[in-house]
Structure 1
Amino acid sequence: MNSKPLSLSFARCLLRLQNGEMLNFSEIASKELLKQFCDDGIFQKLPAGGRRVNYVCTEPMSLHNYLKAQFDIISLKNYVSEFETDLSDGERSLFASKSTKTFRGKSLQGFFIRAFHTEIVVSGITIRSVPQGTELFIHQPEKLVISHNALVIGIENPECFLKFEKLVHLFPQKELVIIMRYLSNSPNKWLQTITNSYLHFGDFDPAGLHIYIREYRNQLPASRCSFFIPANIEKLIDRYGIPTLYDQQIHLLKNIDFQLYPEVEGLMRLLKKHRKGLEQERLLTHV
């Protein structure tokens, strides 16, 4: 058993992962422990475009049992709470002054947003356009108002977000609001406060389905939530799909009953049939 306790910063990361959040590499405090938890199958890697990856914990109970066995931590929440309580005022000040990454992460929570054929209002001001080369970032969603008729489309890939003009013809609904998470922070809390329909535009691979089901479909009413699948998806998967995306990610879906998610059941069958995954940016040049 490892007698050395986990640092507070790493324990906080564990707590976020246990609660269903997805973290990127720079957010996780200890890279050595990160590797250990991945090697032992507690964390799973999800591709985030290019060489970047995000980390999730698909089985919180496995994390709970692992912490108990390896670190003698019975309750992660209590461990963090007790650790924070034990800090003296001076230690708290020192910790706060040095934790600039944590501060930046908390202060910059939010998402990027674009509007097509509709307007968005922020703090009572109608935003009709932004200067070329910039994008609008919302860090206080409670000040954001969109048309009740707009379809909200969540995009995972930055390139697709920035070049959405090439894809807009795929979405016949006239009023569109496009959002993209910043770092690992999901916009699903904001989505829960509005009544608009939500369409997830992610990668067509096991990781993309996992993100959709875990972070959106399970958090929003089923009647409001769907997954974008182009009409020629099987042709695209067959021609441009990547086998390693399927092979390295399929474990993420082992405990999911797709009969509960009929909107993506057909896509899952295609992935199994071709044993490939397709990255969403492929649609920029092949639809």
Structure 2
Amino acid sequence: MKITSSLIDKLIRLRSGESLPSSALRGDWVEDLLREGVLISRSHGSRSCIKASYPQTLEQSLIHIDERFGDLDSMKGVIDNDVSRSEQAVATGNSKLVTVRSCPGFPVNSYDSIPCSLNGRGIVIKPEEGTFVFISDWQSFEILEDVLVVNIENMENFRMIRQQRTLFTAMFPNKRLLFVSRYPQSSDLRTWLERIPNLYVHFGDFDLAGIHIFLSEFHKYLGERASFLIPHDIEERLQHGSMERYNAQYNKFKNISSDVPSLQLLINMINKYHRCYDQEGYIQNR
């Protein structure tokens, strides 16, 4: 059951002796409480309302429905203040009263030294090969404006940036690159990107679905600051790409288009050859 602030507010009102429109609470558990007499329904013409038969003992009945209803006031505080799991455990003994992401943020990577700021303190991003850095306090993460942010959709490509250095150097000569990933899936990365002025490059699969992700989840919010990485040799590679993947995606994305000339050219190539090409193909094996 999804517990919301609105739901807790309604239950607190019932506990205080107020009545609610019958439409305000729905679900099998509400029907159970009505059958058991914990809640009673009354009609007023064409309208009906519900109220607690014994408001002072309502919580005792609710806890049998869901233990999170055991202390409505504490639950209200937990929801409204977006507390962590540890704070939930201290307050109620249950760290999972409300779903909270224990690992907010996103990973970053670079093969060059990238000076940054985190919580007002200077740090340098240059992980050793085989590692990357996870930025959990992303709200306070700042980078210099001349750093180009490259979002890599596939985690294998993200981990193995040094094996793609030839591609990145050819595409972005003399640029300092900070590689990011939206793993785990959340809106944290996009929200951070919206807050900074840096140019953004999207490196994903060269297929209609990948272009849709860029247009709907990044370009829509970042506008002209966002571009799609299109390697110089992509047409040659598409000729030997996957026809099966193209066919699987076609019906869903066949009408996709872009007012960005270079991206529309890529769409035309994909449709011309009826093939897709995965970004992992740019990882150079040693």
TM (normalized to structure 1)? 0.61
How well do the aligned residues superpose, as a CA RMSD in angstroms? 2.9
| Mapped partners of 1:100, 1:274: distance in 2 | 52
The structural deviation recorded for 1:144 is: 1.0
Unaligned segments of structure 1, at least 5 residues: 1-6, 10-85
CA contact (8 A) 1:117 1:174 kept: no
**3-state secondary structure, aligned to 1:218:** helix
**Structure 2 vs 1, CA of residues 128 and 179 (structure 1 numbering), >3 Å: closer, same or farther?**
closer
The structural deviation recorded for 1:173 is: 3.8
CA contact (8 A) 1:247 1:275 kept: yes
2:55 is matched with: none
**Structure 2 vs 1, CA of residues 176 and 129 (structure 1 numbering), >3 Å: closer, same or farther?**
closer
1:221 is matched with: 223
The structural deviation recorded for 1:100 is: 8.4
CA contact (8 A) 2:214 2:228 kept: yes
* Matched residues, number: 199
| Mapped partners of 1:162, 1:98: distance in 2 | 32
1:245 is matched with: 245
Establish whether residue 126 from structure 1 lines up as the match of residue 126 from structure 2: no
Paired residue type of 2:217 = E
Establish whether residue 180 from structure 1 lines up as the match of residue 186 from structure 2: no
**Structure 2 vs 1, CA of residues 192 and 130 (structure 1 numbering), >3 Å: closer, same or farther?**
same
What aligned pairs does 1:7-156 form with structure 2 within 5 A after superposition?
Answer: 7-8=1-2, 88-90=69-71, 97=94, 99=96, 102-103=99-100, 106-115=101-110, 116-123=112-119, 124-130=121-127, 133-156=130-153
| Mapped partners of 1:190, 1:96: distance in 2 | 33
Task: Name the structure, 1 or 2, with higher relative contact order (CA <8 Å, separation 6+).
Answer: 1
The structural deviation recorded for 1:219 is: 0.8
1:49 is matched with: none
What aligned pairs does 1:239-278 form with structure 2 within 5 A after superposition?
Answer: 239=240, 241-256=241-256, 258-278=257-277
The structural deviation recorded for 1:165 is: 1.0
**3-state secondary structure, aligned to 1:113:** strand
**Structure 2 vs 1, CA of residues 158 and 132 (structure 1 numbering), >3 Å: closer, same or farther?**
same
The structural deviation recorded for 1:243 is: 1.4
**3-state secondary structure, aligned to 1:234:** helix
TM (normalized to structure 2)? 0.62
